[in-house]
Amino acid sequence: MTNSYRLIPNMNILLEEFKDYPPHIVKEVSNQILDLYRNKIKENKVDFETKDILDDISNALKNYNEFSLKSTINASGVILHTNLGRAILSEKSIERINEIARGYSNLEYNLEEGKRGSRYTHLVETVKKVTGCEDAIIVNNNAAAVFLMLNTFCKAKDVVISRGELVEIGDSFRISEIMKQSGANLIEVGATNRTHLFDYEDNITENTNALMKVHTSNYKVIGFSESVGADKLKDLAKENGLYVFEDLGSGSLVDFSEYGLSYERTVQDSIKDGVDLVSFSCDKMIGSAQGGIICGKSKLIKKIKKNQLLRAFRVGKLTLAAVEATLNSYLDLDKAKKDVPTVNMITMSLVEIEQKAQKLYELLSKIKGIKLSIEKSYSKVGGGAYPEDVLESRAICIDNVNINKLEEHLRLSKYHIISTVHDDKLFLDLRCIFNDQFEMIKEVLKSYYE
């Protein structure tokens, strides 16, 4: 019986065998696995060879270095899938990240004057050109942007906001809670479905500093409903010497109503209506890296720059590089449709999606035993935008196997393909799948069937 212990390799042999890995990791990983095999011997279950142990250690070492953050293939048809990392970046943004990451930059250096500069200067000109605002600042995300607006101007002051606009975004985050944390007193007015101008008017007191509008991103109040536009709030604010702030949430720069979506307010609309400050996310409809932009009146932006808390929300150079490049694409809308993946996927024609579906269908039909069809499907914008709208799309549909098992196989495969299952069928929506992912999908499906 004791002879079985000879099957357990000596640590020096293991260190030699796996010398490509750091010795302390080989020791740690090997000891865990050797313990399992020693226990087997103790329990008289000697059903292994030394090779099995080496294989286990080899696999464990490979896993030891595995990244937790992995790439996925988005076959869900949801363009801004919050769980899948929201927007994907344009090639130009990726190039710029690469370029800036590789070397030193003028992040906080004024090249003309040869002295200290500010990281907040870099985006201003582009945001001004794209939105028509006076000035702008970028922070870590839109939640931080809303917080800073209120913390800077409404600490211990009243902010009047409609009950119909107290949004809860994903993962039980309530925008109203963030507002309260900023130190502002939220004065909720109106009813859930209807808020009138007089609701705001009646609640203005000496302690009021701002009227606030929040875009109802992920829901719509329909039926017997009414809300007050920012333009009307602006007039009321002016009469009373108050600010008007707007949290646009997804913050589109493009009116997508000619692409089958309903009309949603753009950042430009907000600026035109004369709001003092408007904030929006950079990784929702804009289609860039995580960030939040506040833009509007120059005098107010200057004050935000003096808020000590800004430091806690500041963005890094990689974000600046990405967002500047993305916004640059919007200077020419035709360019944005081509270059910014989010805009491209929203404006993608059904003909183009059908062609993609046909190509993938033909490729996958070569797999033995697979049963496929091309079906009508519906994509969504996601990211808390256009909650009511769907975009007609096409999907590859598979239905003659254990669908839940297949879904898991796709998800756990090395490419992590995220599909949807309904009516006992599995769907791969083509809108967010790139052409260069077709072969990967084939490889994974082939390994399931063959």
Ligand X SMILES: *Cc1c(COP(=O)(O)O)cnc(C)c1O
Chain contacts with ligand X (rule: CB under 6 A): 141-143, 146, 167, 169, 175, 214-215, 217, 247, 249-250, 281, 292, 384
Phi, then psi, of 316 in degrees rounded to 5: -90, 175
**Smallest separation, CB 201 to ligand X (Å):** 24
Which residue number, 288 or 419, has a Cβ lying nearer to ligand X? 288
Residue 265 near residue 257, CB atoms below 8 Å: no
120: DSSP letter: G
Position closest to ligand X via CB? 249
Which residue number, 248 or 360, has a Cβ lying nearer to ligand X? 248
Residue count (the chain): 450
Which residue number, 137 or 143, has a Cβ lying nearer to ligand X? 143
**Smallest separation, CB 210 to ligand X (Å):** 16
**Smallest separation, CB 173 to ligand X (Å):** 7
What whole-number distance in Å separates Cα of residue 269 and Cα of residue 137? 18
**Smallest separation, CB 355 to ligand X (Å):** 33
- Supply the DSSP string of 198-257, one letter for each residue: HHHHHT--TTEEEEEEE--TT----SS-B---HHHHHHHHHHHT-EEEEEEET-BSS-GG
The alpha carbon dihedral of 106, 108, 110, 115 has a sign of negative
Contact residues for 111 (Cβ-Cβ < 8 A; gap 6+):
117
CA atoms within 13 A on the CB side of 43: 8
Instruction: List the beta strands (DSSP E) in 332-430.
Output: 372-382, 391-398, 417-418, 420-422, 425-429
**Smallest separation, CB 443 to ligand X (Å):** 35
Chain centroid to Cα 252, Å, comes to 14
Residue whose token pair is 């595995």:
66
Residue 213, beta-bridge partner list: 246
**Smallest separation, CB 147 to ligand X (Å):** 9
Which residue number, 143 or 304, has a Cβ lying nearer to ligand X? 143
Which residue number, 82 or 105, has a Cβ lying nearer to ligand X? 82
316: DSSP letter: P
**Smallest separation, CB 270 to ligand X (Å):** 13
Which residue number, 122 or 213, has a Cβ lying nearer to ligand X? 213
Closest to 327 measured CA to CA, from 174, 133, 194: 133
**Smallest separation, CB 236 to ligand X (Å):** 22
Which residue number, 143 or 346, has a Cβ lying nearer to ligand X? 143
Which residue number, 14 or 87, has a Cβ lying nearer to ligand X? 87
